[in-house]
Amino acid sequence: MADSAGIQQGSPAIGASGLVPAAPGAGGTEGSGAAGGSARIAVKKAQLRSSPRPKKLEKLGVYSSCKAEGACKCNGWKSQNPPPTPPRTDQQSSTVNLQEPCRSCSHTLGDHVTHLENVSEEEMNRLLGIVLDVEYLYTCVHKEEDADTKQVYFSLFKLLRKSILQMGKPTLEAQESPPFEKPSIEQGVNNFVQYKFSHLPSKERQTIMELAKMFLNQINYWQLETPSQRRQRVPNDDAAGYKANYTRWLCYCNVPQFCDSLPRYDTTQIFGRTLLRSVFTVMRKQLLEQARQEKDKLPPEKRTLILTHFPKFLSMLEEEVYSHSSPIWSHDFLAGAPAGQIPIHTVISAPPVARPLYYSTSPVSVDPSTCGSGSPARKTASVLEPNPVGEKRKPSEPLPHEENKRPRVVGDIPMELINEVMATITDPAAIPETSLLSAHSARDEAARLEERRGVIEFHVIGNSLNQKPNKRILMWLVGLQNVFSHQLPRMPKEYITRLVFDPKHKTLSLIKDGRVIGGICFRMFPSQGFTEIVFCAVTSNEQVKGYGTHLMNHLKEYHIKHEILNFLTYADEYAIGYFKKQGFSKDIKVPKAKYVGYIKDYEGATLMGCELNPSIPYTEFSVIIKKQKEIIKKLIERKQAQIRKVYPGLSCFKEGVRQIPIESIPGIRETGWKPVGKGKELKDPDQLYSTLKTILQHVKSHPNGWPFMEPVKKTEAPGYYQVIRFPMDLKTMSERLKSRYYTTRKLFMADMQRIFTNCREYNPPESEYYKCANLLEKFFYTKIKEAGLIEK
């Protein structure tokens, strides 16, 4: 066992085998650790429960009120000859005499235990367990130095004492009962694994699951710092909120680890994001530091998992824990299996906490008789392992997930069918591998595989005036300056150098074999809600490998984590195609007032924008789409197998029939065919007039309808009528409607569509008129659908 002296309270400890907890013993020096201290408590309970019945009555009499006549107020029998303190282990146990008088009230021991005469052995053993827990908590109260913790111990002490007097079960009285926050930490980590790693092959996904179990186990055995310690470390934190969670943690998670008469819950199942945020930073730092210190004592098969994969896992999780827009903490997080191979609630659960006779895996570290200066209840340690020694892994039980149920949509594929199909393609061998040279392979597939193998790396770097220069980062910045200068010859080299080394700009760099082969230089404007992309290039001999797409996908995820969801860039004629493939368009979503004066204007370039969706994992998006295609393909194959039936040919045409309805063809509906919705054509002229008039009034009163109210004046737009041969406006449409020109919905819709088409043909995409046309067009078609003139 590793020497645990000097381990900070709350820090993990890794035993010599990498499996056994090594916790501080008495006063933080005893090497036997948690297992030894907890075992001694369990042994005492076992010895007491195996004692003769008179001995048990004597023990319970100490905590039983006197039942003698005359309303005696004695609340517990006290021996005339109390045992020495501490008791001698070699002393022979004396015979119990029920007639021995109480030192306090002079009534006999039998008068104190008359209520236990007909109590079963099982009930008596339960009460004896509470008695030992009371004695242990009494020791904790006197040893504990922290006022908040002492108060909780004393409250629990009184609760258990009362339970013995009333022969009841201890029940914590609180305003709230577990769970205290949803989704729980365990559910959030499950969602994180599903969100980030569901695309991985089964072997790699299993590694991630092991890391997640390891992390959940750490939290379940983690020692929270006291509220006073936290106030000193984080003065501006929500002290009241943390104190409430700390109290709950002591009552429901920590104390019940050694006082098993109290109900015990796992921290990860009753607490959520709030508690995790308060402990994650310190916990991550101490875990990784302890792992580095104990690395030589780790078994070889665990060394890579703990020293290499675990830090990366924690870094990715940390971003989701502190991000305000992370989807993993949403109650509506998709819990179905299509995005992964296992239903979300059964991906991971923390190792179950057993309650054996010997607490060989409990992190509690002391026996009441060996306490140091601190409370024995709060001395603990953790292990970097998914499951401690002595605890068998049990199949995870599905958690209740009513909060994640989505309303069924008509036409949704049953989840049972999805799971059945997924089972046929989860085997990597069952999915036909797409050749990287195939037309069907994703643009970033090769780059993603190279990143997974460690061939390429991505780093966001920048110059700093406040920190000491990092030689490697400076070398990379010089490399980026060279790449941009070589690939963008029309840009002045001095201008590129100034922006790359400007502290306000950052660059997502692509590193291969230790050298820079590409990057994207950008400047973030958090207050304005957008980022400007300044330069984007990959060296010529590394192009056509998907690096550009993968670079942009990494940049998108980086900005989602920083809660900036819009990109703007000026693209020249050679770059427009690339940016279109990355989701950019000329339809700018950012209001002009937000970026004018901030973004650099380039002559002869086109302004393009991209709006990010925080729910999309962009670096894995093509993998998800590929998997979805496989699911659809399998479903189609199943449907085809079900409907594969040969019908006799149509003979009606030989009999002179010229035309038949499509739906009358045998088997046509079984294929999934449905009549094409053509919309409802109103035959009543007055009803059509009334409906079209209402729609036109809505369009004219819309905030984006102002540019189209009247015909365009030649003085305001010279040359307009040379470009637009068939002009249209809302005033003309009102006159046509009034004259009953619109005898069908199609005539009305054609004129309205002409307004939008003319606007987009004449005006540039970045203009206000172009944007108004797009927004008004969407509004118009919404109203048309609401009126039932076209199918929704």
Of 573 and 48, the structure prediction assigns the larger pLDDT to 573
User: Helix (H, G, I), strand (E, B), or coil: what is residue 271?
Assistant: coil
User: Helix (H, G, I), strand (E, B), or coil: what is residue 101?
Assistant: strand
Whether the pLDDT of residue 374 is over 60: the answer is no
Q: Are residues 133 and 214 both part of a single domain?
A: no
Interatomic CA distance for residues 576 and 574, integer angstroms: 6
pLDDT at 787 (0 to 100): 85
What are the start-end ranges of the H helices in 395-516? 415-425, 445-453, 471-487, 493-500
CA 544 to chain centre: 34
Q: Is 392 left (phi over 0), alpha (psi -120 to 50) or beta?
A: beta
Task: Choose the most confident range, by mean pLDDT, from 7-16, 38-47, 102-111, 414-423.
Answer: 102-111
Domain housing 134? 33-80+97-166
pLDDT band at 727 (very low <50, low <70, confident <90, very high): very high
CATH number of the domain to which 767 belongs: 1.20.920.10
Whether the pLDDT of residue 117 is over 80: the answer is no
Which backbone phi and psi does 457 adopt, to 5 degrees? -135, 155
pLDDT at 68 (0 to 100): 75
Whether the pLDDT of residue 344 is over 80: the answer is no
Q: Which of 38-52, 318-332, 497-511, 735-749 comes out lowest in average pLDDT?
A: 38-52
Interatomic CA distance for residues 632 and 634, integer angstroms: 5
Q: Which of 68-77, 387-396, 736-745 comes out lowest in average pLDDT?
A: 387-396
Structural contact between residues 185 and 273, judged by C-beta atoms closer than 8 angstroms: yes
pLDDT at 359 (0 to 100): 25
pLDDT band at 410 (very low <50, low <70, confident <90, very high): very low
User: Which helix or strand (DSSP H or E) is residue 341 part of?
Assistant: none
Of 303 and 531, the structure prediction assigns the larger pLDDT to 531
User: Which helix or strand (DSSP H or E) is residue 570 part of?
Assistant: strand 566-571
Q: Is 71 left (phi over 0), alpha (psi -120 to 50) or beta?
A: left
Closest CA to 372 of 34, 145, 153: 145
Cα-atom radius of gyration of the chain, to the nearest Å? 36
pLDDT at 271 (0 to 100): 93
pLDDT at 82 (0 to 100): 65
Q: Which of 50-64, 128-142, 369-383, 409-423 comes out lowest in average pLDDT?
A: 369-383
Task: Choose the most confident range, by mean pLDDT, from 49-53, 507-511, 594-598, 760-764.
Answer: 507-511
Q: Are residues 257 and 285 both part of a single domain?
A: yes
pLDDT at 609 (0 to 100): 94
Q: What pLDDT digit, counting tens, does each position of 58-115 carry?
A: 777 777 778 777 678 787 777 766 665 444 444 445 566 677 788 778 777 777 777 7
Q: Are residues 592 and 462 both part of a single domain?
A: yes
Give the number of other Cβ atoms within 10 Å of residue 713's Cβ: 9
Closest CA to 96 of 85, 73, 80: 80
Picking from 619, 644, 667, the residue at the C-terminal end of a domain is 619
Q: Are residues 149 and 249 both part of a single domain?
A: no
Whether the pLDDT of residue 3 is over 50: the answer is no
pLDDT band at 426 (very low <50, low <70, confident <90, very high): low
Q: What is the 3-state secondary structure (H, E, C) of 646-683?
A: CCCCCCHHHHCCCCCCHHHCCCCHHHCCCCCCCCCCCC
List residues bridging with 611 in a β-sheet.
566
Average pLDDT over residues 676-682: 57
Whether the pLDDT of residue 553 is over 90: the answer is yes
Picking from 282, 303, 322, the residue at the C-terminal end of a domain is 322
Interatomic CA distance for residues 578 and 164, integer angstroms: 76
Interatomic CA distance for residues 608 and 588, integer angstroms: 7
Q: Are residues 701 and 730 both part of a single domain?
A: yes
DSSP 298-332: S-HHHHHIIIIIHHHHHHHHHHHHH-TT-GGG-TT
Which backbone phi and psi does 240 adopt, to 5 degrees? -65, -45
Interatomic CA distance for residues 692 and 759, integer angstroms: 22
Torsion angle in degrees (nearest 10) through CA of 766, 767, 768, 773: -90
CA 752 to chain centre: 46
pLDDT band at 695 (very low <50, low <70, confident <90, very high): very high
When divided into structural domains, the chain yields a total of 4
The amino acid present at 629, given as its one-letter code, is K
> Six-digit token pair at 259?
């006082």
List residues bridging with 521 in a β-sheet.
507, 535
Does residue 209 form part of some domain?
yes
Q: What pLDDT digit, counting tens, does each position of 24-45 carry?
A: 222 332 333 334 445 667 777 7
Whether the pLDDT of residue 705 is over 90: the answer is yes
Q: Which of 7-16, 139-148, 171-180 comes out lowest in average pLDDT?
A: 7-16
Q: Are residues 125 and 263 both part of a single domain?
A: no
Q: Are residues 47 and 107 both part of a single domain?
A: yes
pLDDT band at 378 (very low <50, low <70, confident <90, very high): low
Interatomic CA distance for residues 359 and 34, integer angstroms: 9
Looking at residue 108, what DSSP letter applies?
B
**Residues comprising the chain, all counted:** 792
Whether the pLDDT of residue 693 is over 50: the answer is yes
Sheet with strand 566-571: strands edge to edge? 456-461, 505-512, 515-525, 530-538, 566-571, 606-611
Q: Are residues 576 and 524 both part of a single domain?
A: yes
Q: What is the 3-state secondary structure (H, E, C) of 738-772?
A: HCCCCCCHHHHHHHHHHHHHHHHHHCCCCCHHHHH
Q: pTM for this one?
A: 0.46
Catalytic residue among 30, 532, 620, 777: 532
Q: Are residues 579 and 465 both part of a single domain?
A: yes
Q: Which of 32-41, 105-114, 119-128, 776-785 comes out lowest in average pLDDT?
A: 32-41
Q: Are residues 226 and 160 both part of a single domain?
A: no
Does residue 330 form part of some domain?
no
Average pLDDT, rounded, for the chain: 76
Whether the pLDDT of residue 643 is over 80: the answer is no
Q: Are residues 101 and 237 both part of a single domain?
A: no
Which residues are annotated as part of the binding site for acetyl-CoA?
536-538, 543-549, 574-577
> Six-digit token pair at 607?
């302004």
Picking from 582, 598, 619, the residue at the C-terminal end of a domain is 619
Does residue 667 form part of some domain?
no
pLDDT at 337 (0 to 100): 36
Whether the pLDDT of residue 179 is over 70: the answer is yes
User: Helix (H, G, I), strand (E, B), or coil: what is residue 429?
Assistant: helix
Of 737 and 297, the structure prediction assigns the larger pLDDT to 737
Interatomic CA distance for residues 383 and 185, integer angstroms: 19
Q: What pLDDT digit, counting tens, does each position of 334-343 carry?
A: 544 333 333 3
Q: Is 532 a catalytic residue?
A: yes
Whether the pLDDT of residue 723 is over 60: the answer is yes
Does residue 600 form part of some domain?
yes
> Six-digit token pair at 575?
């770059």
Whether the pLDDT of residue 13 is over 70: the answer is no
Of 708 and 19, the structure prediction assigns the larger pLDDT to 708
Looking at residue 554, what DSSP letter applies?
H
Task: Choose the most confident range, by mean pLDDT, from 54-68, 188-202, 586-600.
Answer: 586-600
Q: What is the 3-state secondary structure (H, E, C) of 163-193?
A: HHHHCCCCCCCCCCCCCCCCCEHHHHHHHHH
Interatomic CA distance for residues 519 and 483, integer angstroms: 8
pLDDT band at 162 (very low <50, low <70, confident <90, very high): confident
Closest CA to 553 of 540, 570, 536, 539: 536
pLDDT at 130 (0 to 100): 83
Whether the pLDDT of residue 428 is over 50: the answer is no
Does residue 89 form part of some domain?
no
Does residue 190 form part of some domain?
yes
pLDDT at 40 (0 to 100): 67
pLDDT at 125 (0 to 100): 81
Does residue 86 form part of some domain?
no
Does residue 206 form part of some domain?
yes
pLDDT band at 552 (very low <50, low <70, confident <90, very high): very high
Looking at residue 27, what DSSP letter applies?
G
Q: Are residues 194 and 128 both part of a single domain?
A: no
Average pLDDT over residues 167-196: 85
Long-range Cβ contact pairs of 203-206 (< 8 A, separation 24 or more): 205/341
| Burial of 784 (C-beta count, 10 Å sphere; 0-12/13-18/19+) | buried
pLDDT at 675 (0 to 100): 65
